[in-house]
Structure 1
């Protein structure tokens, strides 16, 4: 991880914690190299998950460390999920890391699991929101005092103005728990309206990630993420996907792209492209 506040508490005693890759402003290059070398020696492989919103200098540092160590055992996974969604994704990967999956499968599973995380926020304004498509009409409404908006960043972007007759955001069609992180906004819409509409099976609270106000364009927000909490369900989900070997680095993978070298999986000759969850549409999963 690239921030300590994206490391959620473990779900059980078996779930390992995560290391934090520090920025160039707080850690010299030689220290970063030493730390990564130690992690590789201890664990064999390192999977770094980071948001697409990280400063360029931090992303450049990560690639520099991997290049200088000349290691093909470091996966750098950039995610477009908002901060709380990334924190959920990292915890799920931590859960899977103790299963009988190879490092390549765990790394490439990040793209699969992201489709099953419903990450959004309630905002007081969308005027500075540039990571989710917002109409000019919604921008105009955000200038009205007291306006609040419910925004879903993924898996399918949605936006609505909260009002007396507002329809809840379209949510998961499978059993989830809801993680909630409160910013500087007073609202009970998530717990009073969204959670019942999505039929969530549990509600947890977490501290608001420090990068959330910048990601959402305002500090007056309540961020949320609905996710699959059961490790057995996550295991079955990943195990059900066909595995292949990367033709470039020979790592095992699922889906259509290697998690370690980012090389795409070649299409078999005379075969139509895959139509699985990593390739198109919103995934379907039975409600438990």
Structure 2
């Protein structure tokens, strides 16, 4: 069985493009007033380990501390080095896209260690952001005092790119000509509507980014917490071709973790979180390709 890819909520699971892509597991930890027995969480994880051997869990950076603590408790109680808890600062829709990509790659010939460390590499190729009605409470992207003030103007809207490089522009006449930095490779665009009315993503962004296709998905519940407002439309553009994703991961030199012995790419093991020895970090790849290497790996 392929390595299990797990998420922390069912709305972080996107429908696969084919019937061969494995389903994602959902590890629902306690949140708010919802109390789930620790025994149930342990049983779920144990079953995944028995069936798949290794489990990679993608955790939103906005996940409540109680939920994150439960995941670490499960890992600690089971004393398992076959559970990777990856805390990635991607917006929820972008994280859902990454989970789908890892599910597709889990069918390839990558070892669990390479697959886990590939998550940070692939996150650099996901352009994730949102259209917001206000940025007054946004703390995940730099916001100037002037932009904060503009949020109080009725009808204001902002386009925010959170990954791979933060960027914020005001939409409308005041922001005439301003554009979000486009991916330098072919992508498909996914968007999810919250409590905001705007056609900017489908009418303007999709055209300026020259995406290969546009599709709509349900808005993850975690999105309102991540963006600090429910008045938003979230979007994520990513590489849709599994062969290109495979080439990206394959193009990075593999190392052996000096702590747990698993294969990895980049500078840190996804399972035990141990970094490469310092003398190696200074001369070896971090797992993120330069622009020239990106074009070579992705192709025309």
TM superposition score category, shorter chain reference: over 0.9
Q: 1:102 to 1:275 in 2, by over 3 A?
A: closer
1:253 matched to 2:264: yes
What RMSD in Å do the two structures reach over aligned CA positions? 1.8
Unaligned runs of 5+ in 2: 1-6
1:6 matched to 2:12: yes
Alpha-carbon deviation of 1:283?
7.7
Q: How does 1:98-109 map to 2 (within 5 A)?
A: 98-109=107-118
Hey, what's the Cα distance between the residues in 2 that align with 1:272 and 1:77?
24
Which residue is 1:216 aligned to?
A: 227
1:149 to 147, 150, 158: 158
Alpha-carbon deviation of 1:190?
0.7
Contact kept in structure 1, 2:267 and 2:285, CA below 8 Å: no
Alpha-carbon deviation of 1:267?
4.1
Count residues with an aligned counterpart: 287
Hey, what's the Cα distance between the residues in 2 that align with 1:32 and 1:189?
41
Q: What TM-score do you get using the length of structure 2 for normalisation?
A: 0.91
Hey, what's the Cα distance between the residues in 2 that align with 1:33 and 1:205?
35
Hey, what's the Cα distance between the residues in 1 that align with 2:287 and 2:158?
29
Hey, what's the Cα distance between the residues in 1 that align with 2:53 and 2:222?
30
1:15 to 7, 12, 21: 21
Q: Deviations over 1:199-243 (max 9, x none)?
A: 100111100011111111111111000001110000000001000
Hey, what's the Cα distance between the residues in 2 that align with 1:279 and 1:263?
21
Hey, what's the Cα distance between the residues in 2 that align with 1:287 and 1:124?
38
Q: How does 1:204-243 map to 2 (within 5 A)?
A: 204-243=215-254
1:172 matched to 2:183: yes
Alpha-carbon deviation of 1:10?
1.0
2:107 is paired with a residue whose SS is coil
Contact kept in structure 1, 2:265 and 2:287, CA below 8 Å: no
Alpha-carbon deviation of 1:275?
5.1
Q: 1:125 to 1:282 in 2, by over 3 A?
A: farther
Worse overlay, 214-223 or 174-183: 214-223
Q: What TM-score do you get using the length of structure 1 for normalisation?
A: 0.95
Q: 1:194 to 1:278 in 2, by over 3 A?
A: same
2:288 to 271, 274, 278: 278
Which residue is 2:90 aligned to?
A: 81
Hey, what's the Cα distance between the residues in 1 that align with 2:284 and 2:149?
42
1:152 is paired with a residue whose SS is strand
1:203 matched to 2:211: no
Hey, what's the Cα distance between the residues in 2 that align with 1:200 and 1:280?
22
Hey, what's the Cα distance between the residues in 2 that align with 1:79 and 1:37?
24
Alpha-carbon deviation of 1:284?
3.8
